[in-house]
Chain A
Amino acid sequence: MYKWKKQFNLETKILFQNKFFLVLPLLFAVWMGFTLYQTPYFKPDHIIVNTNDFHKLGHTMTLGIAMLIGILMIRRDIQSPTFEWIHSWPRSNGMAIITKFLAGFLYLSTFTVMMSIVYVGIASNVYGLSFQQYAAYFFHDILMYQWSYGVTLALAMFLAVTISHRIVYLIGFCAWMFGTYFIDIFIISRLNLPFLTTFHLNQYTLDTMLNNEVWGIHIFQKEIWTSRLFVASFAVMLLTVMIMLLNLKRATMHKTRSIILGMMSIVLVGLLFVPYGMYWADKFSTYQVVEADAFVPDDNYWNSGESSYQEIPIDSYDIHVLREDDDTLQVEATLTISQDGMPQGEELFFRLNPLLHLQEVSINGEKISYEREGSLITLSVMSDEIVGTDNSLHNIRFQYEGKIDMWAAPTNQQDNIFSFVNGDYVYLNGAIGWYPIPGNMPLFILNFGNDVRPYNSTFSYSYQQSLSQYAEFQLTLSNFTNNVYATIEAVDRNEREQVFYSKNTPGVTLVGGNLVEKEGEGQLSAVVNPFSKQDAYQIIEDISIATNFVENYFAIDNVLKAPVLILPNDGLGFWQYEAQYIDETYMIPAFRMYQYYRDDQSHPHSYRLMRDVIYNSLFKEFAPFKGTTFSRESYASILENGLFYLFLVDELNLTHDEFREAMYHVNTSYHFYMDDEDFYFSDSFYEGMSHEEVEEYQEGERRNKEAGRLLIETLEAGKIDKVREFLVELYENYVIPQKGMEEYYPIITPEEWEMEWNQVMADE
């Protein structure tokens, strides 16, 4: 052992006495500290996200140092002809390699120590967090650092042992780049091979979900640890094989032993890849179940839009979900069928997630037979038998079980996890059919032959909505170990059960994880990651101001019954960039949330968020086109924008300059102030149209802009009451009657607009 100690001392002395290497960890710490201390305006003020973003570059750079010292340590003596003589000493190659590795690892650990100091310093002093709040992420990063240093160092040493020429430096550089950015961007992301992430040297991939502060590292624990096991064995294999190779070149009595050890290490790597491989095999088999169930559209579908499907009117849901310790869900869902609108003389269809095993279906307590194909359940009774003659409501009870961990093959260079129940961490999207959805509309669609998506996401802006109609919902969750939040109101929460209820909702989505509920000053509250507490208060305040404005002038039910959900939605299979009204509350994407505030820091409020709330409150029944449609037939976009301008001037009392600046930030006025000949649509939009049609479109846009400008100028002229009167009347006369007519936007013709305008303004 004394030889090991001496050799280790020599190696560390040589490394740590090198001034260049000595100063690098300090520079690294300064870089990291500077990056985290000065959060740029476009990034969240969030330690987890920002440290992760730093690691993607910072830590990857330090892997280059690992690669360099690994090669240098071997070429310094073992691979140097002028140091060949040291092999005449009774010094084993095993000892030399392992002590070099340990010394290099010790040196590289100084980067981890620096990272830890900066991390704790920034988290405690800048973000004011307690250690417990970020400990899990902190330790995760420490392990990620150490693991990747270990394998990178072993790889570098292996390259230097196998390649005696100095070209190994170039090959090492290539290995470093290949093992980080190249494999990430061009192989894992572009070729959709996410299971190769374990071969990424530090696994801080650019599109990682591990920085997701609500679920990230928690729901990936199995992947993380099976990967770590494999990576550790791979590093051990590299060390063992390089010792074997050196022993083969040198006269030694231990050749056979080192060959056996080398072979065993290769076998070990193969064996330890099995758990990781099995993990991914499970994911892919799950995906295949969903893919097989997905609707495969033809070209006609994309051209013509959605098809018609059976609709069964549901009065109410009563769902009991029991979570077992292994995350299996035992569910009983009782649906009360409404008499009105029941299809006549048809088989009855329901959809249930294909990963859930249906055990029993009964009607009014009597078991009935059914057929199941993927998600589609076909009951053996006809619709007429359900309705019966006594006009009483009928109950259909579905009993089913299964685990939900819905990984979908990555698209857009990002993981997609549609839903999961993983201990304390829950995300059950209403659209994936975790409760029976009436009718035969598909749950999933094969999106242009590429990937599976929830069916709703292809034509609905908010695919979380599961039903095409509204129903009463009673949901009881049992044995969930953490607080679960929903897009409907939580009416009771105790150790055994969590109960949710809504009188009228198109669905329910559940979330649980590293979340807390923050109460605002009024009725509103927000469910948010503990790190985003301050932002949550601001969001609640802004939503309150916007909803109050709407309630003051419009007779609509605008009360949020459930807490606002502020969630990091990246990687959850939907692409939401703005606040969305889902079921009975707003869901706000956490990452985008920061952009609301960073864009207009000079003002205490988020104009974007307020605009979204106003739009959602007044137009949620329509696709939110948000003022970007210059329709020939409707001035709806001017109405939408006009209401927001009114809010800025009337509710927030902005000055002329502030008003213009706010419009600039939110970008809604841009189109109105575009040159009359500078059209919103590009030339490709007009392809195939006749000259007359193009003219008609462009003339429509000109008139649209003109009307928009007139409205803004009138507001700026101080005629706020008149504009308000005009917009409220327009909304009540033209928008409200069109709700429920399944239009993408309300139709307000230029003539109707002008007539109302002239009428209101004439009263002046």
Chain B
Amino acid sequence: MIKIHSLSKKYRDNVVLDDIHLTIENGLFGLLGPNGAGKTTLMRILATLLPASSGTVEVGDNSLTKKPDIIRKQLGYLPQYFQIYPQLTAIEFLDYVGVMKGVKKKEARVDQIHKLLQSVNLSDVANKKVKTFSGGMKQRLGIAQALMGDPSIVIIDEPTAGLDPEERVRFRNLLSRISINRIVILSTHIVADIESSCDQLAVLHKGKLKLTGDVDTLRKQAEGKVWLFETDEKTLLRLDERKIISSKRSGSNIQLKLVSDEKPAPDATSVEPSLEDGYIALIGGSHNV
């Protein structure tokens, strides 16, 4: 269990994280938020890369501030942007990571490497140098390295950004599998990544924690607030675009789906909200049109 208490991060006067309180249990935890919400900062703090300005983080019985070296032994981390030594093959790289993460026995490392390469679908290129890999392949290798050493906490920052749809689906499934006996923190701004697999989630916005709970909690944020109606182009231009979930041309009119506390048009009909609707309602749709 990870307990985050009153965590803040400031860069001079700029508050990036503001008084975050959060408890993360075993399972896949989704950290959702728009760009600039402070997700990566929180990830880096949890990955022991960045000291917090105030507050505490406890991982099990260990304080992250006081015993970061112990916590690193339990960590697997994949940042949003990263490089891998291009001179190494996938196997060499994972072997190196395994050693750094404390997998002493060569047999154990070899076994893990093969399983991980298989799970990220890189077995065929196991002996090829990383410099020949595509962006998606590197991403998958990055995931494999995060899982190397069987860490109890895996932190993955915006992992699906460079993946094609098929890889993304495969990746979500992988995350679901690996989150069975450990904490997996998945930071993303893509709601679909969370929807299919996260047991718990939190939404960060402008450095503040807007919501914690599960998928339903987020979805409920838009309950009774999602409306479907047709309108003309003139009216469309007057609407707050942050609240528009979708717009589809229908003859001379436009069919709109938007989030609003009140009925936006006389002919608007209320519809069942999706997770994305809940997210929009929370982040940008909390006001009347």
Contact = CB atoms under 8 A, between A and B. Distances in A.
Contact of A83 (B77, B82, B95, B99): B82
Given A88-B49, A88-B72, A254-B69, A2 B83 contact: no
A13 B87 contact: yes
Contacts of A14: 85, 87
Interface string A73-88: 0000100111111111
Contact of A85 (B82, B99, B102): B82
A251 B87 contact: no
A89 B82 contact: no
B99 to A, nearest CB: 4
Given A14-B87, A85-B49, A88-B47, A251 B96 contact: no
B66 interface: yes
Contacts of B78: 85
A140 interface: no
Chain A contact residues: helix, strand, loop or mixed:
helix
B96 A6 contact: yes
A252 interface: yes
A12 to B, nearest CB: 11
B72 A80 contact: no
Contacts of A253: 66-70
Interface in A76-119: 77, 80-91
Contacts of A2: 99, 104
Interface in A2-41: 2-3, 6-7, 10, 13-14, 17
A89 B85 contact: no
Interface string B66-104: 111110110101110111010110000001110111101
Interface in B28-83: 47-49, 51, 64-70, 72-73, 75, 77-79, 81-83
Nearest to B64: A251
A interface residue count range (under 10 / 10 to 19 / 20 to 34 / 35 or more): 20 to 34
Chain B contact residues: helix, strand, loop or mixed:
loop
A403 to B, nearest CB: 56
Interface in B2-39: none
B85 A91 contact: no
Contacts of B83: 80, 82-83
Nearest to A92: B69
B99 A251 contact: no
Given A14-B87, A85-B78, A253-B69, A90 B49 contact: no
A84 B75 CA distance: 14
Contacts of B155: 88
Contacts of A7: 100
A7 B99 CA distance: 9
Nearest to A10: B96
Nearest to A95: B100
B85 A10 contact: yes
A84 B51 contact: no
Nearest to A90: B72
A252 B68 contact: yes
Contacts of B48: 87-88, 250-251
Contacts of A77: 85
Give 10 nearest A-B pairs by CB, closest first: A251-B68, A82-B83, A6-B99, A88-B77, A90-B72, A88-B47, A89-B100, A85-B79, A90-B73, A91-B100
9 contacts: A2-B99, A77-B85, A82-B82, A87-B49, A88-B75, A88-B155, A251-B64, A252-B69, A253-B66
Given A88-B72, A90-B102, 8 more contacts: A6-B96, A14-B87, A81-B81, A84-B49, A85-B78, A87-B48, A89-B97, A250-B48
